[in-house]
Structure 1
Amino acid sequence: MTSKQPDLVLLARVLTESGIDYALIGGLALQVHQAEPRTTLDIDVAVSSREAIPREALAAAGFAATGSFPYTENWQGPGGTPVQFSDDAAFADAIRRAASIDVANARLRVITVADLVRAKLRSATEPARRASKRLRDLADIQELLEEHPEIAQDLSADERAALHALLPGKSSMPPSAPARRPPASSSP
């Protein structure tokens, strides 16, 4: 994360000072939630809407707009790091649930592990996505489940079933979350 860290810290400060709700997603979120290092070239950011992107504040901080597409708006940080803002409605709840972490005296909002698994599941089942990327998404899901088995209880039955179908065999994903038992009563 060091090569993009100055741009990341500056981006987080601009977004925070602008009062923007956001969550870091993609490879950077994987770097936060996985023990194994993950290489990523860009910074992926989920925002509630494109109108929320603080364009003037970003430009004043040295970021430059580089392109606009149906669900993303692309920028480049002053250090050359690509930044991709996504306003995909599928991230709305994930933005609200984002966890805060501190990096280099800056507070970053990062998608939770369960929401990252959900995002990877959506990507892995997107037919238009390249097969190599879908396979990487499945590998990312498997690694996240191995490192964070407790998140199974945060996923819906449909999500668990889809993951079980995609990751059969010795997958870390149980077909259904274990039933929670009520605490034992001390009365006879």
Structure 2
Amino acid sequence: MTAKEFLNSLAKGKTDILQQLLGILTETGSHYCLIGGLAVNAYVEPVVSLDVDIVVAVDSIQAVANTARSKKMKVEEFPYSINLSGSDSDLRIQVQTDPRYQSFIASATMQEVLGYEIKVASLENVLQGKLWAFMDEARRRSKRQKDLADISRIIETYPELTALLPQRVKDQLQDK
């Protein structure tokens, strides 16, 4: 079983929604990059997630949403994200619209993540995104704990990045 087949089997996918997303990004000529837990997997030992977090260049976001709708995907718009989903997969795609992430696109590189060739934010940017997510008190506690675990996975593999962590995060990691 390939990594793609494994991910799609976990997502109960009758269609490969991540490949469909990559097709939409190509079709719309969108600049983008993967962030979040799947992006962490590009740099450290993979952990399975059914969440796909990406940033799309601000001038392409509506084209991506409209193209997704035309392909019968469900599109839900929120203050800082647009969520895309399909009835044939449990994979959840979140297009992050928070402007802080836009600069991540410029330094993204093409990498293989679970069998997909996809642009991924730089390691430092992935870490920064995880720090923002962890420090967001409005997020559910369980999500913040996953963010802290992802930060820990990065720091274990790249200890030189510890200097980028706020003291409060360093203290949290020491307590674990």
Q: Is the 8 A contact 2:38 2:113 kept in 1?
A: no
TM-score, normalising length: structure 1 = 0.71
Choose the corresponding residue for 1:110, options 120, 125, 137: 120
Secondary structure class of the residue paired with 2:67: helix
What is residue 46 of structure 1 aligned with on the other side?
A: 55
CA distance in 1, matches of 2:99, 2:108: 15
Unaligned runs of 5+ in 2: none
Unaligned runs of 5+ in 1: 172-188
CA distance in 1, matches of 2:26, 2:101: 18
CA distance in 1, matches of 2:92, 2:169: 31
What is residue 181 of structure 1 aligned with on the other side?
A: none
The 1:146–1:16 alpha-carbon spacing in structure 2 relative to 1, beyond 3 Å, is: same
CA distance in 2, matches of 1:106, 1:133: 25
Does 1:83 find its partner at 2:93? yes
Choose the corresponding residue for 2:171, options 165, 168, 171: 168
Per-residue deviation, residues 63-120 of structure 1 (Å, max 9, x unmatched)? 5133111111111146423221111111011111112124699641112221111011
TM superposition shift of 1:145: 1.1
Instruction: Give the AA of the match of 1:47.
Output: V
Choose 1 or 2 for highest CA Rg.
Answer: 1
Does 1:125 find its partner at 2:141? no
Structure ranking higher in helix proportion? 2
TM-score, normalising length: structure 2 = 0.76
Secondary structure class of the residue paired with 1:40: coil
Superposed CA RMSD: 2.8
Q: Is the 8 A contact 1:113 1:151 kept in 2?
A: no
| Overall identity of the aligned pairs, in % | 28
Choose the corresponding residue for 1:146, options 152, 156, 169: 156
What is residue 26 of structure 1 aligned with on the other side?
A: 36
CA distance in 2, matches of 1:142, 1:99: 23
Per-residue deviation, residues 112-151 of structure 1 (Å, max 9, x unmatched)? 2211110111111112122232222122111101112344
CA distance in 2, matches of 1:167, 1:139: 12
Q: Is the 8 A contact 1:63 1:75 kept in 2?
A: no
